[in-house]
Amino acid sequence: MTITGAIHVHSSFSYDAKLPVREIRAIAEARGLSFLCFTEHTDELTPENAEAFVAACREASDERFVCIPGFEVNYGGAHVLMLGCRTFLGQFAKPEDLPLWKAGAALAVHAHPHRDGYREDETLASVADGIEIWNAQYDGIRAPRNGARRMLARTGGAKKAFAGWDFHRASHDGGPLLAVHVDAITEESILASLKTGNYTISSAAASLGSDGKLLRGSALGAALMSAASTSFIAFAKAINAALAALGLRVPKSAAAFVRSRI
């Protein structure tokens, strides 16, 4: 069977997120999703909170919906999503730590790689199973980022394409979805299919395979949409920063309206 879900989700266990695990599940379930991969920031996380987070995912899961625990590990400025990870190893990772994180995870994904210049050192390149070519908060909800797709192509098929919500608050609902082919709605089956590339990525405007190649929509259209979305988002972030410096902020309703359309 095929079920849909999303990865790169932050609950209130992350220092910069707002909602508890169960509330995020309710938002996703109302959209017809069957799983979420939570990846809490390790920055500022404590062992006690990490343990409570894993327990919250377990308690919020049942035969209809699975909340999969994981961590977003800060590795020298790069961020790595450790999906299906339950063992917290510290707030920051050094090169010798990253393989240990990976040993406790089902798979590792290099998150929003444009933020670190699309660079992977030897350790990160050897650990990462995939690249987040589409991050809803930085790339918009309509198309993957051009530079990240080119980065994936340079791996020659060695890594899988992933798309994440980077969800931190209710207004972040609505990013690209993963349609995963599974034998059962279980964490084990979902993670196994993600690891082997037995899924597709989709939004209202585009659909891609786990190899990052377009299944629906034109290459030119996706490229133009990506360029327009990323440029607008960067401009909007700059405006927000300027307003914040003046003690002002864009109304939440206006920000949510714009976000839902780019």
Q: Where are the domains of the chain?
A: 2-220
Name residue 131's amino acid.
I
Give me the mean pLDDT over the 113-138 stretch: 97
The residue count for the chain: 262
Q: What is the pLDDT confidence band of residue 235, given thresholds at 50, 70 and 90?
A: confident
Residue 172 has pLDDT above 70, yes or no: yes
Kindly report, residue by residue over 58-79, the tens digit of the pLDDT.
999 999 999 999 999 999 999 9
How far lies 146's CA from each of 184, 228, 235, in Å? 34, 11, 18
* pLDDT value of position 252: 57
Q: Which residues contact 151 (CB under 8 A, 6 or more apart)?
A: 113, 118, 131, 133
* pLDDT value of position 164: 98
Nearest residue to 4 (alpha-carbon basis) of 211, 148, 215, 203? 203
Kindly report, residue by residue over 155-169, the tens digit of the pLDDT.
999 999 999 999 999
Q: pTM of the prediction?
A: 0.94
Residue 115 per-residue DSSP state: G
CB 186 within 8 A of CB 15: no
* pLDDT value of position 224: 80
Instruction: Dig out the tokens for 128 from the structure.
Output: 């990462």
* pLDDT value of position 231: 82
Please, how many CA atoms are within 13 Å of residue 217, restricted to the half-sphere of its CB? 23
Options 3.30.70.260, 3.20.20.140, 3.40.309.10, 3.30.1360.120; CATH of 2-220: 3.20.20.140
Name residue 6's amino acid.
A
* pLDDT value of position 159: 98
* pLDDT value of position 251: 62
Nearest residue to 158 (alpha-carbon basis) of 128, 193, 189, 198? 128
Task: Indicate the burial class of 56 (C-beta count within 10 angstroms; 0-12, 13-18, 19 or more).
Answer: buried
Give me the mean pLDDT over the 192-211 stretch: 95
CA distance 141 to 194: 21
Residue 255 has pLDDT above 60, yes or no: no
Q: What is the pLDDT confidence band of residue 243, given thresholds at 50, 70 and 90?
A: low
Residue 178 has pLDDT above 90, yes or no: yes
Instruction: Dig out the tokens for 105 from the structure.
Output: 């995870």
Query: 60-86 as b/e, with b when 16 or more CB fall inside 10 Å?
Result: bbeeebbbbbbbbbbbeebbbbbbbbb
* 71-80, 83-92, 168-177: least confident range: 168-177
Over its C-alpha atoms, the chain yields an Rg (Å, rounded) of 17
* pLDDT value of position 238: 72
Q: What is the pLDDT confidence band of residue 248, given thresholds at 50, 70 and 90?
A: low
Q: Which helix (DSSP H) or strand (DSSP E) does residue 258 occupy?
A: helix 252-259
Strand 78-83 and strand 107-110: the pairing is antiparallel
Nearest residue to 207 (alpha-carbon basis) of 260, 134, 262, 116? 134
Of the spans 54-58, 139-143, 216-220, which averages the highest pLDDT? 54-58
Residue 171 has pLDDT above 80, yes or no: yes
CA distance 45 to 2: 34
Residue 226 per-residue DSSP state: H
* pLDDT value of position 225: 76
